[in-house]
Amino acid sequence: QKKLLEIKDLTIKFHTDDGVVEAVNKVSLTVHEGETLGIVGETGAGKTTTALGIMGLVDCPPGRIEGGKIMLNDQDILQLDEDEFRKLRGKEISMIFQDPMTALNPVFTVVDQIAEVIANHQQLGEKEAEQKAIEMLELVRIPAERAYEYPHQFSGGMKQRVVIAIALACNPRLLIADEPTTALDVTIQAQVLELMKDLKTRSKTSMMLITHDLGVVSEICDQVAIMYAGEIVESGSLEDIFENPLHPYTNGLFGSIPDIDKEVEFLSPIEGLVPDPSDLPKGCKFHPRCKYAQHLCSVEEPAFQEYSPGHYAKCFVYEGKLPAKEVKKYE
Ligand code: SF4
């Protein structure tokens, strides 16, 4: 498969009055054509900042991209000026956010909002753009007769479907979805997820799905990257991550979700909190919360290494630098 997006060593910092926040540290990721990559982690792990970096929406004070490359189809998009980036957004890369209301304008009908995006990016007349907008609404299963309604007349799930229609209106090569189902109630979440799965099979759009929910990942992703404190700590295929998770943090994430096939009396959330990004621990950033941590983990940083084809992790246990100990699966 051809690489669509390749991020290499992306580093993003925020220079605030309270100090430097290291939001994203040397993150490397690849999304192949037609593939869905899930980025998983707790709040504050740097997932959204990574996505905003790809969208060209972070590089202004106090945020700064301090290193790395973002290659889209072999072009380093960090070299583009603001005008060129604006053209890229919507046409090549689109993003949908957690709260659909932030993306919708309450004073315009939904068809007008989609048609505007289409008209801005494609050389289409008003009528044609409107017709295409109605087709997009139908694609996300909103009947044409509701096209001339306003956002407040729609339920939460329908609003998110409108947002997806806007994001897909110009056939982007990459769709970034940031917790697209989190603000919705459970049944509606399932419907939106179903819709995204359907779009994935029908369109050629590649997706980057940001979530804290491993259930969502298992439904839709081909590849998975686990983020902790601004870094990728493990990445691999869906199967690698679900069948053979390596990093203690990944195993902790699995341990903190209910398994409907097992009788679990209580969940075991990972103890401790995500570290303050302006005061990150030395060595392995997970060491204050890790059951397997040894002195070495607090002074040296493990390497991000490949342990089987395409399956990477960042932990001394696998480098053989700690006394042989097996990380328990789904701890
Ligand atoms: Fe835990 Fe050490 Fe591995 Fe970090 S390097 S995850 S602290 S065992």
- Mean pLDDT computed over 160-184: 89
Tell me what pLDDT residue 58 has: 87
Asked whether residue 257 carries a pLDDT value surpassing 70, the answer given is no
Distance 242 CA to ligand 1 centre (A): 19
Q: Tell me the C-alpha distance between 77 and 3, whole Å.
A: 15
Tell me, using a 6 A CB cutoff, whether residue 14 lines ligand 1: no
What ipTM was assigned to the predicted interfaces of this complex? 0.99
Q: What percent of the chain has pLDDT over 70?
A: 95
Counting from 1 in the atom list of ligand 1, the atom nearest the Cα of 287 is 7
Among 60-69, 176-185, 218-227, the range of highest mean pLDDT = 218-227
Residue owning the nearest CA to atom 7 of ligand 1: 287
**Which residues touch 257 (CB under 8 Å, ≥6 apart)?**
214, 215, 267
pLDDT, tens only, 72-103: 998 999 999 989 988 888 789 999 987 877 78
Find which of 98-102, 166-170, 220-224 is predicted with most confidence, using mean pLDDT.
220-224
**Per-residue pLDDT at 258 exceeds 70:** no
Cα(297) to ligand 1 centroid in Å equals 6
Residue 5 confidence (pLDDT):
97
Compute the distance from residue 234 Cα to the ligand 1 centre, in Å.
12
Predicted pLDDT at 182: 81
What pLDDT digit, counting tens, does each position of 285-307 carry? 999 999 999 999 999 999 999 99
What are residue 154's DSSP bridge partners? Answer: none
Side-chain half-sphere exposure of 278, counting CA atoms within 13 A: 8
Residue 267, classed as helix, strand or coil, is coil
220 lines ligand 1 (CB under 6 A): no
pLDDT above 60 for 267: no
Instruction: Count other Cβ atoms within 10 Å, centred on residue 139.
Output: 18
- Check pLDDT > 50 for residue 273: yes
Poorest-confidence range of 7-11, 184-188, 222-226, 316-320?
Answer: 184-188
Angle at 115 between CA 156 and CA 179, to 5 degrees: 35
Look at residues 86, 145, 147, 160 and name the one whose alpha carbon lies nearest to residue 112.
Answer: 147
Which superfamily, per CATH, for 3-92+172-319? P-loop containing nucleotide triphosphate hydrolases (3.40.50.300)
- Single-letter code of the amino acid located at 320: G
Domain map (residue ranges) of the chain = 3-92+172-319, 101-171
State the pLDDT at residue 262: 53
How confident is the model over 123-145, as a mean pLDDT?
92
| Ligand 1 center–CA 322 separation, angstroms | 9
pLDDT at 264 over 50: no
Name the pTM for this structure: 0.90
pLDDT class of 40 with cuts at 50, 70, 90: very high
Mean pLDDT of all residues in the chain? 90
pLDDT, tens digit (0-9, with 9 covering 90-100), for 103-116? 899 999 999 999 99
Q: Which two tokens stand for residue 37?
A: 């990559």
Tell me the CA–centroid distance for residue 296 and ligand 1, in Å. Answer: 9
Residue in 282, 316, 328 to alter for ligand 1 test, most ligand atoms within 8 A of Cβ? 316
Residue at token pair 């306003």? 150
Which residue in 322, 306, 304, 324 sits closest to 314, CA to CA? 304
pLDDT at 324 exceeding the cut of 70: no
